[in-house]
Amino acid sequence: MKRTLYWLNKDLRINDNAALNLASKSEHLLCVYIVDKQCFEANNFQSKPLGDIRWQFLQGCLDDFNESLSKLGQELYIVYGDTLSTLTRLCENYQITDVITTKFPGTYENRLITQLNERLPELNINQVDQFTLFTKNALPFELEQLPVSYSKFRKKMAEVSISKPVPSVQSLPSMFDTLPAPTRFKPEWLPSVSAVKAKQGFEFEGGEQQGLTHLRQYFSSNSPAEYQQVRNNLDGWKNSSKLSPWLNSGCISVRQVMNYLTDFEQQQGKNSSTECLYLELLWREYYQWVHGKVGVKTYQFKGLAKHKPLTTFYPERFNKWCLGNTPYPLVNAFMHELRQTGYLSNRGRQIVASCLVNELSVDWRYGAAWFEEQLIDYDAAVNWGNWQYIAGVGVDPRGGRHFNIEKQTTLYDPNGDYQAKWSDQSQQSIQANQALDSVDASDWPVLE
């Protein structure tokens, strides 16, 4: 008898989910989502892999997915603990014959699958390639031959067709008779969700239904046709698609987004804005495959470069940057928005990353890890890839990006509206003419 465990991760949706379709063919099915304790513990870069805001969003995704499953006669079994030992224990206890999961290019997920396979060699593990726009088999080159620049990648992918979303399941097999009711027990190390509520900023609500509603609304407006002109603006719901939180939790798939975009182009006409939106989705795609190719180099100081950057770790500067208390008012406003809402425009992300690396000379990995904790739309490949790009150790052959903060302020916040909105009145911000450091490199107080 086929007893299948579907291990859900960043694929919390019913629609366009080939892994769920495959799971629907088994005789007995257990749908599992694991909340790993490690996500809430500080890593080597002083940040946690999962901060309160994304955790709150994720809970919405889990609730919504569970509700959809219940309409198909199934339930989501949420388990708290170490991922590998939980998977092993469940497979052993419930005599699982098959594990189904979505395949991610990331090193962490792939290592887990390898380890599970080593522990339980009899287990049949099926990884469904559906996180990206193109499957690995559809790439017109071996992953090792992935072009070293985005523009070359874009040219190569121009001829490859994009698959349509797959049909949705209509029914699912039952759980095992012997299984105890799904756990509602929550360990004490979980942060309390009700404590998190942004005072202002965008309202992102986790869940497939919420993601699909937003997807429909965005593409039934004229915004995609104007995307290119407004995408770099600092504030405003319609300046960009705001699809990233749902995309990265898997509430919607990138193929669904492309499908909407293609329909929009057929009905309203293709223009430079719709093309630009496609090219951004392709950046996401490129970073996934770069991550798949370079593996752990994604997280290393030297990244893909030959030499290490000339930055280091200054705890005081890093803390001031995190708290939005640097000598740069625009950067401070960005950091306040990020910390309060979990979201930041692309231009905002570029400017604060450039500031940390170039103005504050701090090791870029601390910034990437802070983003990992704070962002509601965190994605490993895209986040660390973009940070590498700015720090000059990534895929960019031109080597690094240095944004002139004064010029960016004049361009994007000439009247200071954005800075006023996100200024922190309770904080005594340091002025541009004040010293950034109160201690020197050997921790001695800096004298006036």
Cβ(374)–Cβ(196) under 8 Å? no
The CA R_g of the chain, rounded to the nearest whole Å, is 23
Instruction: State which of positions 261-300 bind ligand FAD (CB under 6 A).
Output: 280-281, 283-284, 287
- Which range, of 71-79, 98-106, 143-151, 373-381, touches ligand FAD by CB under 6 A? 373-381
CB of 353 to ligand FAD, least distance (A): 4
The β-bridge partners of 7 are: 32, 101
Q: Which residues contact 198 (CB under 8 A, 6 or more apart)?
A: 53, 340, 341, 342
Site of tokens 């239904």 = 209
DSSP-H helix ranges across 120-239: 150-157, 208-220, 227-230
DSSP 29-70: EEEEEEE-GGGGS--TTS--SS-HHHHHHHHHHHHHHHHHHH
CA angle 150, 154, 158 (to 5 degrees): 175
377 interacts with ligand FAD by CB under 6 A: yes
Cβ(399)–Cβ(78) under 8 Å? no
Q: Which residues contact 438 (CB under 8 A, 6 or more apart)?
A: 316, 445, 446
Site string for ligand FAD, 353-372 (x = CB under 6 A): x-----------------x-
226 interacts with ligand FAD by CB under 6 A: no
Site string for ligand FAD, 380-419 (x = CB under 6 A): --xx--xx--x-----------------------------
- Which range, of 138-146, 300-308, 374-382, 436-444, touches ligand FAD by CB under 6 A? 374-382
86 interacts with ligand FAD by CB under 6 A: no
CB of 66 to ligand FAD, least distance (A): 25
**Closer of 158 and 441 to ligand FAD (Cβ):** 158
- Which range, of 33-41, 80-88, 125-133, 238-246, touches ligand FAD by CB under 6 A? 238-246
Structure tokens at 167: 């049909």
242 interacts with ligand FAD by CB under 6 A: yes
Binding-residue total with ligand FAD (CB under 6 A):
28
Instruction: State which of positions 98-127 bind ligand FAD (CB under 6 A).
Output: none
Site of tokens 């541009």 = 432
β-strand pairing of 3-8 with 124-128: unpaired
Can you tell me which of 214, 255, 349, 365 binds ligand FAD, judged by CB under 6 A?
Answer: 349
What residues make contact with ligand FAD under the rule CB under 6 A?
231, 240-244, 247-248, 280-281, 283-284, 287, 345-346, 349-350, 353, 371, 375, 377-379, 382-383, 386-387, 390
